[in-house]
């Protein structure tokens, strides 16, 4: 540790002596309340918080509050003592649109400035010292220091060309186990088969905390894997800041952007959720508000030159349809949810620093037409997806919001259910079918390789709703997509396949089985524990899913992170309502139960929970990660979620021997 006095302090002392002034409370130096990237350079643990791959871009930013009556008139950033020469247009000084409170909870003083240097990068591995110096209008200077690390890459191995990351949202160990019990069966203590993800040769455990909580949500939960840094809950691809604008936050370059810029790789995103949802967006979109759907879907298209977006498939058509109605009406006549209030216009310095599209507040935009004009084939159902062949680029939007779940899609295909008709989308593809199509499109012009993220979104959404049968079948569907990726990697050995989750959801636990009578009586006494649980047996149809989940002695699930619910220990014919669905009041699905507290309220028994609200919540429990293919051996052990990014970086840039 060095103890030399910085020259600017010596200057200030000299100035004070010259003028004969004294430093008093009223003339205290301006205060720097935040320096970005976040760091803790005095930490005894010596954990470097912010880490980047060589050349990976990120924004430097500071929040500076001047003395009363003064203002900030200049600033500079320095790395390792060398002042950065800010290129024209990559600095900004924001003095309006600030949050009323600073990060420490105190009121934001007048004239507080947020100063930025956009799109910085360093190619030099190691821990670097970061300094910001701000100059106040009365000549006083203030400096704050932090650090960040550039993680070096070991060269000379065989590199991974393609990366497929399959993310089972909310999928903890219990979700995987339950899917295996249901679809493979156990006898005499042994599983009668393995999930595709069980057969991956390398498995690790991942710590899932976000920047501001031990319990993450899906936005930082995904983003940390693909930019290497912790983010606050609800924020994706950015560090937190002190401005109100949700799209101007300091950016961190995503894996897709980094690999597209340096290696020409393309990006595919496949999800069973609405494509604006946190997990898909946290691969390509930079915002501190995961709920800003209009701007999120616009940025997919407008910044495709940064990400290499080639495939985008899932639900969420409501964000792509032009809002033709009265802009103040709660629901547009065609189902559009586009609003100026969830759209963006980027500040000029961000546009210049990143080469990003400036954006526009355009609720009337026909985004499907704009995708088509940009060369994307557009498909709206499974029949259209199959008929599209292998286009160069593909947009698939199969429902207004989140797609229906496997349980209901499969029962529709079997002629046993009209739930997907109730939602208005009778012909939705399964996740494995979407994955197969995405791999064909991405493989078509694949000189440089691709990064494909495939999300099984409703493992999480149905676990929140404590609809056990639906999330178990959702995990089965997800594993079928894993098999598609596994088969692709078997044919293309320069592919790395990773299967993991962003966090555990609901504290799910397999607590036993129903006593072997049908129907089970809705009470706690129904739960057969230990040896009384035996080995639940399901009959699997040719389509790969159980003929029914309501078998005698069926597996029973408990929740450790639950809200109140009524439990019958049987599957529910109707899914619980999805509040993101437009037209919910007018469709037949308005008959579906609105919450787990209303589902089976007449026939079930009350299971009281520990958390407020109507849904189960995420937990902080570590989650499993399985890997196969080129570089998979890097993924053993117990590690932080941000470590995954650097392991991918090693596999892709340096390779493995
Ligand atoms: Zn969730």
Q: How far is the CA of 617 from the centre of ligand 1 (A)?
A: 7
| pLDDT at residue 12 is higher than 90 | no
Rounded-to-integer distance, Cα 94 and Cα 344, Å: 17
Residue 27's pLDDT is 56
Tell me the mean pLDDT in the region 487-505: 98
| pLDDT at residue 586 is higher than 50 | yes
Q: How far is the CA of 592 from the centre of ligand 1 (A)?
A: 21
Q: Among 25-39, 40-54, 597-611, which stretch is predicted with the lowest mean pLDDT?
A: 40-54
Output phi, psi for 300, to 5 deg: -50, -50
How large is the angle between the packed helices 255-263 and 218-227, nearest 10 degrees? Answer: 30
Q: How far is the CA of 444 from the centre of ligand 1 (A)?
A: 34
| pLDDT at residue 331 is higher than 60 | no
pLDDT level of residue 104 (50, 70, 90 thresholds): confident
Q: How far is the CA of 22 from the centre of ligand 1 (A)?
A: 56
Q: How far is the CA of 479 from the centre of ligand 1 (A)?
A: 19
- Bridge partners (DSSP) listed for residue 76: 133
Q: How far is the CA of 67 from the centre of ligand 1 (A)?
A: 43
Q: What percent of the chain has a predicted confidence (pLDDT) above 90?
A: 84
Three-state SS for 518? coil
Three-state SS for 351? helix
| 531 token code pair | 């040896």
Rounded-to-integer distance, Cα 315 and Cα 403, Å: 5
Residue 42's pLDDT is 64
**Regarding beta strands 113-120 and 504-505, do their DSSP bridges make them parallel or antiparallel, or are they unpaired?**
unpaired
Helix (H) or strand (E) run with residue 585 in it: none
Q: How far is the CA of 503 from the centre of ligand 1 (A)?
A: 8
How much helix, strand and coil, in percent to the nearest 5, is found in the chain? 30, 25, 50
Q: How far is the CA of 65 from the centre of ligand 1 (A)?
A: 37
pLDDT level of residue 579 (50, 70, 90 thresholds): confident
Rounded-to-integer distance, Cα 220 and Cα 165, Å: 16
| pLDDT at residue 124 is higher than 70 | yes
How large is the angle between the packed helices 468-491 and 406-413, nearest 10 degrees? Answer: 80
Rounded-to-integer distance, Cα 284 and Cα 289, Å: 14
- The answer to whether 162 touches 496, Cβ cutoff 8 Å, is yes
- Backbone CA torsion sign across 173, 176, 181, 185: negative
| 344 token code pair | 């963006």
Q: How far is the CA of 219 from the centre of ligand 1 (A)?
A: 10
Plot region of 178 (φ>0 → left; ψ -120 to 50 → alpha; else → beta): alpha
Q: How far is the CA of 460 from the centre of ligand 1 (A)?
A: 5
Tell me the mean pLDDT in the region 273-282: 98
- Bridge partners (DSSP) listed for residue 145: 131
Q: How far is the CA of 464 from the centre of ligand 1 (A)?
A: 6
Residue 548's pLDDT is 97
Q: How far is the CA of 516 from the centre of ligand 1 (A)?
A: 33
Q: How far is the CA of 157 from the centre of ligand 1 (A)?
A: 38
Tell me the mean pLDDT in the region 252-270: 98
Rounded-to-integer distance, Cα 168 and Cα 501, Å: 5
For the CA atoms of 554, 555, 556, 558, what is the dihedral angle to 10 degrees?
-170
- The answer to whether 294 touches 318, Cβ cutoff 8 Å, is no
- Bridge partners (DSSP) listed for residue 618: 505
Q: How far is the CA of 180 from the centre of ligand 1 (A)?
A: 22
Helix (H) or strand (E) run with residue 460 in it: helix 458-464
What is the 3 state secondary structure string of 43-102? CCCCCCCCEECCCCCEEEEEEEECCCCCCEEEEEEEECCEECCCCCCCEEEECCCECCEC
pLDDT level of residue 496 (50, 70, 90 thresholds): very high
pLDDT tens for each residue of 283-298:
999 999 999 999 999 9
Would you tell me how many other CB atoms lie within 10 Å of the CB of residue 17? 9
| pLDDT at residue 521 is higher than 90 | no
Q: How far is the CA of 459 from the centre of ligand 1 (A)?
A: 9
pTM for this prediction: 0.94
Tell me the mean pLDDT in the region 365-379: 98
Q: How far is the CA of 313 from the centre of ligand 1 (A)?
A: 20
| pLDDT at residue 1 is higher than 60 | no
> Distance from CA of residue 60 to its chain's centroid?
23
Rounded-to-integer distance, Cα 502 and Cα 460, Å: 10
Q: What percent of the chain has a predicted confidence (pLDDT) above 70?
A: 92
Residue keyed to tokens 């004294």: 22
- The answer to whether 204 touches 637, Cβ cutoff 8 Å, is yes
**How far from each other are the two terminal CA atoms of the chain, in whole angstroms?**
38
Q: How far is the CA of 348 from the centre of ligand 1 (A)?
A: 34
Q: How far is the CA of 457 from the centre of ligand 1 (A)?
A: 9
Rounded-to-integer distance, Cα 418 and Cα 136, Å: 67
| pLDDT at residue 3 is higher than 50 | no
Tell me the mean pLDDT in the region 205-228: 97
Q: How far is the CA of 461 from the centre of ligand 1 (A)?
A: 6
Q: How far is the CA of 291 from the centre of ligand 1 (A)?
A: 14
Average pLDDT over the chain, rounded to an integer: 92
Rg (CA), the chain: 26
Residue keyed to tokens 């370059």: 253
| pLDDT at residue 553 is higher than 80 | yes
For the CA atoms of 541, 544, 550, 556, what is the dihedral angle to 10 degrees?
150
Q: Among 359-363, 590-594, 625-629, which stretch is predicted with the lowest mean pLDDT?
A: 590-594
Q: How far is the CA of 170 from the centre of ligand 1 (A)?
A: 6
Three-state SS for 565? strand
| pLDDT at residue 622 is higher than 80 | yes
Q: How far is the CA of 552 from the centre of ligand 1 (A)?
A: 30
Q: How far is the CA of 278 from the centre of ligand 1 (A)?
A: 10
Highest-confidence segment of 366-370, 418-422, 593-597: 366-370
């Amino acid at each position: 540790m060095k103890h030399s006095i910085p020259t600017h302090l010596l200057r200030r002392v000299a100035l004070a002596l010259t003028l004969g002034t004294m430093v008093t409370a009223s003339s205290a130096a301006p205060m720097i309340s935040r320096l970005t990237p976040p760091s803790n350079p005095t930490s005894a643990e010596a954990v470097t918080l912010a880490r980047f791959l060589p050349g990976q871009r990120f924004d430097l930013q500071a929040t500076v509050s001047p003395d009363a009556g003064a203002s900030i008139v200049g600033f500079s950033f320095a790395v390792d003592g060398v002042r950065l020469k800010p290129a024209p247009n990559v600095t900004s000084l924001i003095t309006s649109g600030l949050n009323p409170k600073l990060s420490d909870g105190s009121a934001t003083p007048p004239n507080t400035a947020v100063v930025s240097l956009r799109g910085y990068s360093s190619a030099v591995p190691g821990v670097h010292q970061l300094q910001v110096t701000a100059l106040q209008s009365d000549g006083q200077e203030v400096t704050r220091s932090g650090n960040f690390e550039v993680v070096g890459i070991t060269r000379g191995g065989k590199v991974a060309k393609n990366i497929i990351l399959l993310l089972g949202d909310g999928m903890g160990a219990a979700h995987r186990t339950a899917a295996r019990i249901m679809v493979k069966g156990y006898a005499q203590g042994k599983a009668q088969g393995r999930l595709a993800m069980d057969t991956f040769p390398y498995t690790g455990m991942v710590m899932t905390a976000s920047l501001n909580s031990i319990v993450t949500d899906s936005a930082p939960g995904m983003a940390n894997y693909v930019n290497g840094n912790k983010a606050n809950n609800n924020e994706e691809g950015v560090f937190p800041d002190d401005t109100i604008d949700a799209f101007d936050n300091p950016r961190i370059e995503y894996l897709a952007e980094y690999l597209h810029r340096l290696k020409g790789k393309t990006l595919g995103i496949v999800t069973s959720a609405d494509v604006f949802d946190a997990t898909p967006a946290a691969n390509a979109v930079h915002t501190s508000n995961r709920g800003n759907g209009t701007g999120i879907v616009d940025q997919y298209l407008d910044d495709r030159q940064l990400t290499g977006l080639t495939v985008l498939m899932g639900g969420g058509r409501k964000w792509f349809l032009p809002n033709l109605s009265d802009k103040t009406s709660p629901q547009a006549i065609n189902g559009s949810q586009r609003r100026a209030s969830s759209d963006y216009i980027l500040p000029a310095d961000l546009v210049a620093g990143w080469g990003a599209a400036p954006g526009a507040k355009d609720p009337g935009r026909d985004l499907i037409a704009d995708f088509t004009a940009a060369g994307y084939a557009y498909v709206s159902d499974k029949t259209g997806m199959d008929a599209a062949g292998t286009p160069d680029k593909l947009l698939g939007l199969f429902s207004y919001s989140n797609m229906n779940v496997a349980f209901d899609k499969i029962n529709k295909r079997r002629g046993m259910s009209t739930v997907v008709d109730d939602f208005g989308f009778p012909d939705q593809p399964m996740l494995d079918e979407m994955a197969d199509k995405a791999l064909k499109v991405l493989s078509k012009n694949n000189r440089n390789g691709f990064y494909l993220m495939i999300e099984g979104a409703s493992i999480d959404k149905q676990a929140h709703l404590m609809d056990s049968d639906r999330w178990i079948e959702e995990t089965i569907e997800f594993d079928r997509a894993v098999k598609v990726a596994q088969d692709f990697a078997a044919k293309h050995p320069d592919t790395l396949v990773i299967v993991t989750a962003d966090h555990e959801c609901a504290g799910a636990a397999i607590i036993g089985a129903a006593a072997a009578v049908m129907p089970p009586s809705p009470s706690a006494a129904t739960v057969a524990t230990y040896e009384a649980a035996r080995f639940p047996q399901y009959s699997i149809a040719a389509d790969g899913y159980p003929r029914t989940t309501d078998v005698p002695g069926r597996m029973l699930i408990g929740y450790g992170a639950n809200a109140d619910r009524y439990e019958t220990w049987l599957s529910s014919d109707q899914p619980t309502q999805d509040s993101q669905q437009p037209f919910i009041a007018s469709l037949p699905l308005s008959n579906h139960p609105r919450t787990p507290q209303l589902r089976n309220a007449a026939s079930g028994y009350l299971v009281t929970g520990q958390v407020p609200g109507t849904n189960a919540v995420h937990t902080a429990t570590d989650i499993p990660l399985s890997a196969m293919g080129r570089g998979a051996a890097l993924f053993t052990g117990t590690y932080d979620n941000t470590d995954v990014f650097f392991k991918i970086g090693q596999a892709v840039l340096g390779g493995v021997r």
